Each structure stands twice: as structure tokens, then as C-alpha cells.
């Protein structure tokens, strides 16, 4: 397989970019499951953008920087905020139907925002975006999308016969090895430009709002190829996921959107008392790091398994109209949210760090770009502001397009290979060699290891951390990493095995990054480095607000 542009992933980042790049050549999208399956598909709250009369760019910039606790890149933040309204209009042109009232966008409010600025499609924003983008893609002759293709590793010099492989050679990406999961065959895909848009890594934890596809594949592939990754310690826990007593591996816990709190719902303890006023003056609408840690603190103090979200201030009719999906799903789970409170707990939700890119979406490897959740553009810093993720994804995929557009002549002349050269390159790339490997009959090893990784990450690398716990986690992960590597080397690849290899890689990176950051900041809360004692957090969970800049 040979293509001009290879996009890995069919979420908002990959799909919106594909539609644009199709202007310049053939686009191939590969995706590991059905095409709509992605984090995007489950997005509820919406997209943050300055559209209200009482709002302005400076306020959105200030809220984003404040939430990111001193680690955001101001230029990147300004970019997403200022381009927001244009990208929202573009989504509407693609056919996305956002909720309106009297001809104007209905703007929701979420934690950390000083204004109502979240455009949404009821509480099914992501599904509506996927529907519209996939429909446009189905009508575009320059775009091909292949399902059940799993990207394994990037093709670089080391995969090419007689290529210069010395340390001084600049790394280039020529495409990927991908597993055709249906045919159980590994294919080479050679591309002029490759774009990584593989989304998040929530499945490295036991409780996550992310679907089963979110096993951090893109982060792990990039790391193995020599990409720079940054800020990987900042894993965001969403404060309010529906509490489930027992959660099986690969489960996606159900999110209760922050927009519900934006509409007036409040957090309460089992005894019915509110508690968020003790932690932040914004109460239940404080940024996520503060709310999640406050809930964690309350649960540790009380020994309870969950807190409650009380929607009574919203009113039954409005609940059903504004949050139909949350209403129906909770009803199926036995809770009528127009009458009863929802039991909620924090769950792993979003990777603020990732593959480092510049403002054009370029990574440090030639011909390789990244956008969406897998990328670290500098927007989110130590904690992402609610509903800034979909915004970042559309803005930065557009940046890749704009970069290609403004340099197209030069790129085509200097960087694109001719058809003959591409075919020649294809033949020079080693075929996937799995000689000496066997089909596995040790499924138990894969499932046990996966569970253990999730347990270690949840127990020791969660909302509240300390050096001792992180080191303990690292020791265990290192042992498993060795075992998984040996197993991988002697076994024919399957999706399950590839995901396990990526999960252990990502766990290892998160822990090492967490150990490197010797301070508490944003989502990375370290008991050993408290900056400020807050009387309302028990000793075990001291709240840290602003801290001096630390090692990045
Ligand atoms: P995704 O949408 O996750 O797409 C990644 C794609 O890559 C998928 O198609 C996947 O199958 C594919 N893929 C992954 N690995 C491989 C591989 N090895 N080979 C081939 N394909 C692969 N953000 C907001 O801004 N607003 C919200 O309201 C909001 N709500 C959310 C609600 C939930 C429940 C969740 C989980 C997240 C929410 N987020 C929200 C975050 C946001 O949805 C994601 O960050 C964003 O959708 C990521 O988009 P993406 O295109 O980068 O990745
Ligand atoms: C939500 O609806 O609460 C999720 C919003 C987000 O992740 O930005």
C-alpha cells in the first residue's frame, strides 16, 4: 500500500484533517476498530469557543492559562482561542448540528470557565461530529478509510535495506507496519506524510471514561520511533463518572458531563451535605484537578465508595431535554436522575501530555505529524480546561493543513517521491518478519498482565501520588515490561498483544515522567512536595495551588 497522506485514527483530529488534505492528494485513514469508535464519539459537554456576547478571547485565554497551572504555551493557547469561532463554523459547514435556542447557539458552562462558552449537540456532541465528518468522508473520492487495521510501528531508516542508520542520520518516517486484524496479516503502508491521530490512553487505568480503543498506541509507537514526548505525568481524572461497583478490564465507565454541573447540579456527600465550598470558591465548578482531588479526599476521610451528584436544581423537563443521553443511560442503570442523585467517582479521562509538536503539528521526526489527544501542542499545560480538547484537535489539524498548503510547491518538489521512487522504496522496506514466532496459547498471560498494569497505575499513579508509591509502581512495571518483551519476541502479533505492549510502554513513560517532576502542579499532585497547606485537605491530600516553575 502506497499513499500520499496516511492518517492513523478516525476521531475528530484524523477525520477533519483528512477532509482538508484530500485537496492535495490521496488520503488513507486506517483505524483499529469500526470507523466511529473513538474518544470523540463519546464526547458529551461540547467545544469551548468565544461566541457569547459577554465573552471575549482574553477571558478564554486567561481561563485556559489559569487551569494549566503555569505550564501552557501562551502562543498555542492564543491560537486555539482566536481560531475557535472559525473552526466551529467550519464544523457547521461539514454538517454538524449544534444545539440552538431562538436561532442562537446554546452555550453551556463547565468547570474553570468564567463564561458560558460550550457549543454542544445536546449531550451527544461527539457522536454528532463523527456522524457529520464520516458522512462527508464517505462522499470524498480522494479519501479511503480502512477499518480493523492496527498501526504497529513507524517505518524509519532501520526498516529499509541499505539505508544510512547511523546516529547522525536525521530520522524520517516512511509510513507504518499495520496489522490487518481480520486477515491476521502484517502489511507495510508507505506514505509521503504520516499523521498520528490515535487519541488517548485512559485504558492504562482500571476506571476510565475512555472506550477500549484508548490503549495509548500512538504514544508508545512514537516513543519507540524516537519522538519527543512531554508532560506525560499530567493524566486528567474527570470528577464525575457513574459509580460501578465492579469494573471489568476494557470497560468504559459512563461519564456524567461537567455540563450537568454547569447547568446547576451540585456534589454532595452521602449525608446530603455539600463539600466543594471547603476547597474552592467556584465550588462544584472549580477546575477538574481541584474537584477530583476534593472528592478523593472526602472519600478517603469518610471511607465511602462514592459521592453524589444532585440535579434537583436543574428541573425534570430541562434534564430530559438538555441531557437525554445521560437521563436514558442512568435510567437503564436504575437511577431516575430527575428524582434521585447520581453516585459518582473520578475516573481517568484525558492525557494532557503527548507527542511534542510545533505550532504546525510537526514532530521531531521528518514527515511525521501529530494532532488531537496524542499530541502535546502546549495548550493544556498541567491541566486541561474543560471542552478545550475537541477545540485543540480541530485547530491543530487545520494547522497541519495550512502548513502543507502554504509550502505545497516546495513539499511536492523537494519532499514528495515520484510514483516510481515510492514503489522502489516500498520494495526496499523489509517485510514483517515473524519467523521463529508462534501463535500464543498463553492468553492468561496477556489478560493477567493487562489487569496488573491497570491495578498498579490506579493504586500508585492516580490522583494523589508520592515518590515511594511511584518507585514501587516503576519496579513492578519494569518487571512486567521485561516479561512482556520476551513474550512479544516469541509470539505472532495480535491486537491484544500489541495493546499490552503499548500499555506497558505508556505506563512506564507516565511513571518516569511523574518521578521527574519534583513538585505538585495541576494534575500531578505529590504528597512529598506540598506548596501550601490547605486546612480542608487531610494530611494525605494537601491541595497545591500555585507552585514555582519546576522541571519541564
Ligand atoms: P479519538 O477520537 O480518540 O480517535 C482516535 C482514533 O485512533 C480512533 O479511531 C482509534 O480507533 C484510532 N486508533 C487508536 N490507536 C490506533 C492504532 N494502533 N491503529 C489504528 N487506529 C488507532 N473533549 C472536549 O473537548 N469536550 C467534551 O465534551 C469531551 N467529552 C468527552 C467525553 C468522554 C466520555 C471522553 C472519553 C472524552 C471526552 N473529551 C471531550 C475528550 C475528547 O473527546 C478527546 O480528547 C478527543 O475526542 C480526541 O480526539 P482524537 O481525534 O485525538 O482521538
Ligand atoms: C464533559 O462533558 O464533562 C467532558 C468535557 C471534556 O472532557 O472536556
pLDDT at 329 over 60: yes
- Residues 213 and 502: their CA atoms lie apart, in Å, by 12
Cell of 103: 436561532
CA of 236, closest atom in ligand 2? 7
Q: Which bin fits 63, alpha (ψ -120 to 50), beta or left (φ > 0)?
A: alpha
CB atoms within 10 A of CB 353: 25
What's the pLDDT band for 540 if we cut at 50, 70, 90? very low
Which ligand does the CA of 495 lie closest to?
A: 1
Cell of 378: 502546549
Reference 508, options 520, 518, 519, 516; nearest CA is 516
Distance between CA 282 and CA 280 in Å, rounded?
5
Asked if 152 and 60 sit in the same domain, the reply is yes
CA-31 nearest atom, ligand 1: 21
Q: Which atom of ligand 1 is nearest to the CA of 10?
A: 9
CB of 256 sitting under 6 A from ligand 2: no
Helix 443-460 with 495-516: angle, nearest 10 deg: 20
pLDDT of residue 70: 95
Q: Counting ligands in written order, which one lies closest to the CA of residue 110?
A: 2
Place of cell 492535495: 24
Helix, strand, or coil (residue 199): coil
Under a CB-based contact definition with an 8 Å cutoff, are residues 357 and 231 in contact? no
168 & 87 share domain: yes
CA–centroid distance, 430 to ligand 2, in Å, is 43
Q: Is the CB of 258 within 6 Å of ligand 2? A: yes
What sign for the dihedral angle of Cα 459, 460, 462, 466?
A: positive
pLDDT bin (cut points 50, 70, 90) of residue 441 is confident
The CATH number of whichever domain residue 128 belongs to comes to 3.50.50.60
The band of 551, judged by pLDDT with boundaries at 50, 70 and 90, is very low
User: Helix or strand or coil: residue 383?
Assistant: coil
pLDDT tens string 12-36: 999 999 999 999 999 999 999 999 9
Gap from CA of 253 to ligand 1 centroid (Å): 15
C-alpha of residue 91 to centroid of ligand 1, in Å: 17
Instruction: Kindly report, residue by residue over 264-320, the tens digit of the pLDDT.
Output: 999 999 999 999 999 999 999 999 999 999 999 999 999 999 999 999 999 999 999
Distance 40 CA to ligand 2 centre (A): 11
Least distant ligand from the CA of 209 = 1
313 vs 470: CA distance, rounded Å: 41
Residue whose CA is closest, atom 12 of ligand 1?
9
Contacts of 308 (CB under 8 A, 6+ apart): 267, 268, 269, 270, 272, 341, 342, 343, 344
Given 326, 346, 366, which residue is the final one in a domain? Answer: 346
Contact between 98 and 120 under an 8 Å Cβ cutoff? The reply is yes
pLDDT at 220: 98
What band does 504 get if pLDDT is binned at 50, 70 and 90?
A: very high
Pocket flag, ligand 2, residue 210 (CB < 6 Å) = no
pLDDT beyond 90 at 535:
no
pLDDT digits 0-9 by tens, 39-60: 999 999 999 999 999 999 999 9
* Percent of the chain topping pLDDT 70: 95
Report the domain count for the chain: 3
Domain closes at, from 281, 315, 346: 346
Q: How far is the CA of 311 from the centre of ligand 1 (A)?
A: 27
Place of cell 457549543: 119
Alpha helices in 1-148 (DSSP H): 12-21, 57-67, 74-93, 125-138
Q: Are residues 193 and 289 in the same domain?
A: no
Does residue 155 contact residue 190 with C-beta atoms inside 8 Å? yes
Q: Is the CB of 508 under 6 A from ligand 1?
A: no
Give yes or no: residues 99 and 184 share one domain: yes
3-state secondary structure of 208: strand
Asked if residue 168 and residue 27 are part of one domain, the reply reads yes
Q: Tell me whether residue 548 is in a domain.
A: no
> Is 386 touching ligand 2 by the criterion CB < 6 Å?
yes
263 touches 314 (CB < 8 A): yes
Given a contact cutoff of 8 angstroms between Cβ atoms, the answer to whether 114 and 20 are in contact is no
Sign of the Cα torsion 532, 535, 540, 541 reads: negative
**452-488 pLDDT per residue, tens:** 999 999 999 999 999 999 999 999 999 999 999 999 9
Whether residue 184 sits in one domain with residue 131: yes
Q: Which of 49, 255, 329 to probe ligand 2 with, by most ligand atoms within 8 A of CB?
A: 255
In this prediction the pTM is: 0.96
Atom number, ligand 1, closest to the C-alpha of residue 41: 2
Q: Which pLDDT value is given to residue 401?
A: 98
How many helices (H) and strands (E) in the chain? 15, 20
- Active site members: 288
Residue 69 has pLDDT above 80, yes or no: yes
Distance CA 9, CA 214 (A): 11
Using the mean position of ligand 1's atoms as its centre, give its distance from the Cα of residue 19 in Å: 18
Same domain, 187 and 140: yes
How high is the pLDDT of residue 552? 32
Q: Is the CB of 111 under 6 A from ligand 1?
A: no
Across the range 514-537, mean pLDDT stands at: 82
Residue 369: strand pairing partners: 195, 362
DSSP state of 519: S
Residues 318 and 362 in one domain: no
353 SS3 class: coil
- Helix (H, G, I), strand (E, B), or coil: what is residue 537? coil
Ligand nearest to the backbone CA of 220: 1
Residue 243 lies in a domain: no
The alpha carbon of 262 and the centre of ligand 2 are apart by a number of angstroms equal to: 11
β-bridge pairing 354-356 and 342-351? unpaired
User: Ligand 1 pocket, 500 CB below 6 A?
Assistant: no
Can you give the CATH number for the domain in which 324 is found?
3.90.700.10
C-alpha cell at 130: 463523527
Residue nearest atom 1 in ligand 2 by C-alpha distance:
257
Give percent of the chain above pLDDT 90.
91
Q: Classify residue 541: in a domain, yes or no.
A: no
pLDDT at residue 541 is higher than 60: no
The three-class DSSP label of residue 362 is strand
| Residue numbers of the domain that contains 270 | 251-346
Question: What confidence category does residue 546 fall into, taking pLDDT thresholds of 50, 70 and 90?
Answer: very low
Residue 171 maps to a domain:
yes
Residue 539 reports pLDDT greater than 60? no
Give 408-423 as a DSSP string.
HHHIIIIIPPPHHHHH
Q: Decide: helix, strand or coil at residue 350.
A: strand
Checking DSSP bridges between strand 185-196 and strand 368-370, what pairing results, if any? parallel
> Does 419 share its domain with 505?
no
Tens-place pLDDT, residues 81-133: 999 999 999 999 999 999 999 999 999 999 999 999 999 999 999 999 999 99
What is the atom index within ligand 2 of the atom nearest the CA of 390? 8
- Does any ligand 1 atom lie closer than 6 A to the CB of residue 240? no
pLDDT for position 549: 37
All cell numbers assigned to 156: 524509519
The mean of the pLDDT values for the chain is 94
User: Which of 1-5, 232-236, 466-470, 531-535 is least confident?
Assistant: 531-535
Residue 26 Cβ contacting ligand 1 at under 6 Å: no
CA proximity to 219, closest of 155, 153, 169: 153
CA angle centred on 148, ends 147 and 153, rounded to 5°: 110
For ligand 2, whether the C-beta of 508 sits within 6 Å is no
| Residue 277 and residue 374 in one domain | no
> Could you tell me the CATH number of the domain that includes residue 501?
1.20.58.100
30 ligand 1 Cβ < 6 A: yes
Give the pLDDT score at 536. Answer: 53
pLDDT at position 167 over 90 = no
Residue 550 pLDDT grade (very low, low, confident, very high; cuts 50, 70, 90): very low
Residue with cell 546516529: 167
Tell how far the Cα of 211 is from the centroid of ligand 2, in angstroms.
Answer: 14
Which residue among 324, 346, 368 closes a domain?
A: 346
Please give the pLDDT value at position 530: 78
Amino acid at each position: 500500500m502506497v499513499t500520499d497522506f496516511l492518517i492513523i485514527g478516525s476521531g475528530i483530529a484524523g477525520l477533519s484533517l483528512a477532509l482538508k488534505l484530500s485537496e492535495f492528494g490521496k488520503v488513507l485513514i486506517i483505524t483499529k476498530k469500526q470507523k466511529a469508535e473513538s474518544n470523540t464519539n463519546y464526547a458529551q459537554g461540547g467545544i469551548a469557543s468565544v461566541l457569547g456576547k459577554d465573552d471575549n478571547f482574553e477571558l478564554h485565554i486567561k481561563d485556559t492559562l489559569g487551569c494549566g497551572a503555569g505550564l501552557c504555551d501562551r502562543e498555542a493557547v492564543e491560537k486555539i482561542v482566536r481560531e475557535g469561532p472559525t473552526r466551529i463554523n467550519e464544523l457547521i459547514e461539514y454538517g454538524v448540528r449544534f444545539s440552538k435556542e431562538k436561532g442562537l447557539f446554546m452555550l453551556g458552562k463547565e468547570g474553570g470557565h468564567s463564561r458560558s462558552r460550550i457549543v454542544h449537540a445536546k449531550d451527544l456532541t461527539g457522536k454528532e461530529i463523527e456522524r457529520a465528518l464520516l458522512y462527508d468522508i464517505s462522499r470524498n473520492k480522494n479519501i479511503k478509510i480502512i477499518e480493523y487495521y492496527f498501526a504497529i510501528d513507524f517505518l524509519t531508516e532501520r526498516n529499509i535495506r541499505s539505508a544510512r542508520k547511523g546516529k547522525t542520520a536525521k530520522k524520517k518516517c516512511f509510513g507504518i507496519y499495520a496489522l490487518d486484524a481480520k486477515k491476521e496479516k502484517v502489511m507495510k503502508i508507505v506514505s509521503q506524510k504520516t499523521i498520528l491521530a490515535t487519541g488517548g490512553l485512559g485504558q492504562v487505568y482500571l476506571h476510565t471514561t475512555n472506550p477500549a480503543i484508548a490503549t495509548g498506541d500512538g504514544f508508545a509507537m512514537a516513543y519507540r520511533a524516537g519522538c519527543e514526548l512531554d508532560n506525560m505525568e499530567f493524566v486528567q481524572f474527570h470528577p464525575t463518572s457513574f459509580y460501578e461497583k465492579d469494573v471489568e478490564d476494557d470497560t468504559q465507565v459512563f461519564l456524567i458531563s461537567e455540563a450537568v454541573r454547569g447547568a446547576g447540579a451540585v456534589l454532595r456527600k452521602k449525608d446530603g451535605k455539600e463539600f466543594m465550598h471547603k476547597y474552592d470558591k467556584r465550588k462544584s465548578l472549580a477546575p477538574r484537578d481541584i474537584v477530583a482531588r476534593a472528592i478523593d479526599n472526602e472519600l478517603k476521610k469518610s471511607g465511602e465508595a462514592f459521592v453524589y451528584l444532585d440535579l434537583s436544581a436543574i428541573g425534570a423537563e430541562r434534564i430530559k431535554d438538555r441531557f437525554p443521553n445521560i437521563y436514558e443511560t442512568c435510567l437503564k442503570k436504575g437511577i431516575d436522575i430527575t428524582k434521585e442523585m447520581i453516585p459518582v467517582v473520578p475516573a481517568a479521562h484525558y492525557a494532557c501530555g503527548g507527542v511534542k509538536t510545533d505550532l504546525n503539528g510537526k514532530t521531531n521526526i521528518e514527515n511525521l505529524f501529530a494532532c488531537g489527544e496524542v499530541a502535546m501542542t502546549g495548550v493544556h499545560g498541567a491541566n486541561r480546561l474543560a471542552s478545550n480538547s475537541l477545540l485543540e484537535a480541530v485547530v491543530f489539524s487545520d494547522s497541519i493543513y495550512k502548513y502543507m498548503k502554504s509550502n505545497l510547491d516546495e513539499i511536492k518538489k523537494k519532499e514528495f517521491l515520484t510514483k516510481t521512487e515510492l514503489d522502489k522504496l516500498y520494495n526496499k522496506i523489509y517485510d514483517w518478519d515473524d519467523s521463529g514466532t508462534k501463535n500464543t496459547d498463553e492468553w492468561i498471560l496477556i489478560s493477567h498482565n493487562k489487569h496488573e498494569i491497570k491495578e498498579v497505575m490506579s493504586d500508585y499513579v492516580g490522583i494523589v501520588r508520592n515518590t515511594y508509591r511511584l518507585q514501587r509502581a516503576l519496579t513492578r512495571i519494569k518487571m512486567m515490561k521485561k516479561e512482556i518483551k520476551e513474550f512479544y519476541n516469541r509470539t505472532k502479533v495480535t491486537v491484544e498483544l500489541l495493546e499490552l505492549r503499548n500499555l506497558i510502554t505508556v505506563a512506564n513513560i507516565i511513571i518516569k515522567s511523574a518521578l521527574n517532576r519534583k513538585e505538585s502542579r495541576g494534575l500531578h499532585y505529590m504528597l512529598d512536595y506540598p506548596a501550601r497547606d490547605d486546612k480542608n485537605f487531610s494530611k494525605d491530600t494537601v491541595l497545591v495551588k500555585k507552585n514555582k516553575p519546576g522541571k519541564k
